[in-house]
Amino acid sequence: MNAIEFHGIGVRHPLVHRRVPTLKEWLINRGATETVDNWFWALKDVSFSVEKGDTLGIVGGNGAGKSTLLRVAAGIITPSHGEAIVRGTLAPLIELGTGFDGELTGLENIYFNGALLGRTKAEITARMPYIVEFADIGAFIDAPLRTYSTGMVSRLAFSIATTIEPDILLLDEILSVGDATFKSKCADRIRSFRDQGTTILLVSHDLKALEDMCAKTLWIERGSVREYGPSAEVIERYLEESEAAAEASADVELPDFDTSDQESVEG
């Protein structure tokens, strides 16, 4: 049984070149600005499936469409083409801490975030000790969130999303936040999730960690699936190509700033 299926998913956004849109302008142009024929395809004909209990790694350059892909799976972005099927409860961790409110205390934020992730009050209360313990923020739990450090916010967010026990967990660049101790705690928890049969989609630039944790890897390039297969192979080719691209761009000569020239202008 597949936990996630993508069938020819396409996501497009209007390419907006105009200034901040105002209703006044729109009325003057009689809605002309809304006839977009310039689309940016964030995802193009993406098809893949993830077996229940699998951990899928997702790699690709900046802006390749990795986060868009997670958002489609989470139901945050409705696709412009195709169909996505998701089986089971899902917790997305896409931008850490965006669902937090600075004025609310850590405890209040836990309830609020739990609600965002579709949990009832009783379910959150039952898991509260585990959330607080894993986040390891001590007495700050009763302080307003605006007094927290970035690391504390990330820990709390990760702790909430992983303690509510979803069937599917979407993690976007989670391994890159927090200090070394917390990173290894996160990795341990992800592994234990994997062992319990949770389906995980993991976006990361930490290729070593990906290869270590994911049996399969999906390589996204400019919105399309470039490769999908066993992690070791996909990551090896991805690395080769990234290095080749880096070398190629290193060969481009940067224009020199001629200091003598500048002096002469100033002088």
**191 binds other proteins per the rule CB under 8 A:** no
In angstroms, what is the minimal distance from the CB of 74 to other proteins?
Answer: 5
Per-residue DSSP letter, 120: -
Closer of 112 and 130 to other proteins (Cβ): 112
Binding residue (CB under 8 A) for other proteins from 47, 120, 176, 184 = 120
Report residue 36 CA to chain centroid gap.
28
**140 binds other proteins per the rule CB under 8 A:** no
**24 binds other proteins per the rule CB under 8 A:** yes
Residue 134: which H helix or E strand, with range?
Answer: helix 121-135
**Cα-Cα end-to-end distance for the chain:** 75
Binding residue (CB under 8 A) for other proteins from 47, 51, 63, 101 = 101
Binding residue (CB under 8 A) for other proteins from 28, 29, 121, 129 = 121
Binding residue (CB under 8 A) for other proteins from 17, 20, 38, 260 = 20
Identity at 48, one-letter amino acid code: F
**Which of these ranges, 109-117, 148-156, 233-241, 245-253, lies near other proteins under the rule CB under 8 A?**
109-117
For the record, the structure tokens of 39 come out as 């689309």
HSE-CB for 48 with a 13 A CA cutoff: 24
Binding-site size for other proteins (CB under 8 A) equals 47
Beta strands at 55-59 and 199-203: parallel, antiparallel or unpaired: parallel
Beta strands at 2-14 and 39-51: parallel, antiparallel or unpaired: antiparallel
Cβ atoms of 74 and 170 within 8 Å: the answer is yes
**230 binds other proteins per the rule CB under 8 A:** no
**Which of these ranges, 116-124, 184-192, 211-219, 233-241, lies near other proteins under the rule CB under 8 A?**
116-124
**78 binds other proteins per the rule CB under 8 A:** yes
For the record, the structure tokens of 92 come out as 């997305």
Phi, psi of 46 (to 5 degrees): -90, 120
Binding residue (CB under 8 A) for other proteins from 107, 112, 228, 229 = 112
In angstroms, what is the minimal distance from the CB of 119 to other proteins?
Answer: 7
